[in-house]
Amino acid sequence: MNDTNEHTVEALVHETARDFERADLFFGHGTDNALDEAGWLVFGALGLSHDAAAEAYAQPVTASQRAAVQALARRRIDERIPLAYLLNEAWFAGRPYFVDERVLVPRSPLAEPILEQFEPWVKPASVRRIADLGTGSGCIAIALAHAFPDARVDAIDISPEALDVARTNVERHGVEDRVRLVESDFLDALEHEVPRPQYDLIVSNPPYVDREDMASRPAEFRHEPALGLAAGDDGLESVERILHAAPRFLAPDGILVCEVGNSREALENRYPAVAFTWLSFEHGGEGVFLLNRDDLLALSATPG
């Protein structure tokens, strides 16, 4: 590398990418390759904007900046810590969120239908109350609040530590007046509210990783809270609870949208008579189903 560009942002990104490639890292917390991961690290560590990437790449890098990036890269390699935790930032539906090891790193494909306001399955103007089950960092609840500006959102999680992170994000995004943080094991605590909440939309990215996959997780995923991932032998413990409770909380025209990832096959095998609507995604992702209240009432009546 010649002296004219060896101390630029672009050179530092490529240097970091080469280190990541040699280290055989696992990518899956926002990127899927070494170069994108390196770009995220360098831009995040140096406070650069991706909106002006061409100009940023040409910027010179000081010795102290290079040292700071190298220190983060070394931790990413040696400790296998997801980059979002090292930077305390992840993006979801076009907005940044504070994250640390109390919550999962946001990566759900639910961002896409949220930005599309779940059309054509709902009429956005009619959505007044929403629940986000297993809110974690609060990113889904906050994205829903932005997508449905006339709606109130209950951001629900069993973990008080996760709710502390969500509170930080709710305040940063200025939606305290419309996003309520609720400590509850899914919908259990809400059973006692009078009147019982009736939601036009229930959205959830619950734990759905089966026992076998939990045991074989790459090292990066072991930094995430198991509470947000593990869902029993077949990955269905959480989703089954949601399926059977949701009808009591949905408005007559309400819908449930739930992510089950690679537990889709297990779910379809468990309920072969249920016509799940599986969403498709332009930007990647799978394993997200949609059911209306009538579907859920029929499912609840299914034997077993």
Mean pLDDT of the chain: 94
Q: Which two tokens stand for residue 254?
A: 């309400």
Using the CB atoms, write b or e for 175-205: b if 16+ within 10 Å.
Answer: beebbebbebebbeebeeeeeebebbbbbbb
Which domains can be identified in the chain, with CATH numbers?
Answer: 9-87 (no CATH), 103-300 (3.40.50.150)
Contact 92, 113 (CB under 8 A): no
CB-CB contact of 292 with 284 (8 Å): no
Q: pLDDT tier at 7 (50, 70, 90 boundaries)?
A: confident
Rounded to whole angstroms, the Cα distance separating 213 from 221 reads: 11
Adjacent-strand bridge partners of 230: 209
Q: Tens digit of pLDDT for each residue in 58-86?
A: 999 999 999 999 999 999 999 999 999 99
pLDDT of residue 2: 37
Q: How distant is the alpha carbon of residue 124 from its chain centre?
A: 22
Averaged over 158-181, what is the pLDDT?
Answer: 98
Confidence grade of residue 1 (pLDDT, cut at 50, 70, 90): very low
The pLDDT tens digits for 244-289 are 999 999 999 999 999 999 999 999 999 999 999 999 999 888 999 9
How far is the CA of 169 from the CAs of 132, 142, 268, in angstroms? 15, 8, 35
Amino acid code (one letter) for 222: R
Beta pairing partners, 129:
152
- Is it the case that residue 12 has pLDDT exceeding 80? yes
Angle between helices 34-46 and 9-23 (to 10 degrees): 130
For 29-69, the pLDDT digits (tens) are 999 999 999 999 999 999 998 888 888 999 999 999 999 99
Q: Do 228 and 103 form a contact (C-beta atoms < 8 A)?
A: yes
* Position 5 pLDDT exceeds 70: no
pTM (2 decimals)? 0.94
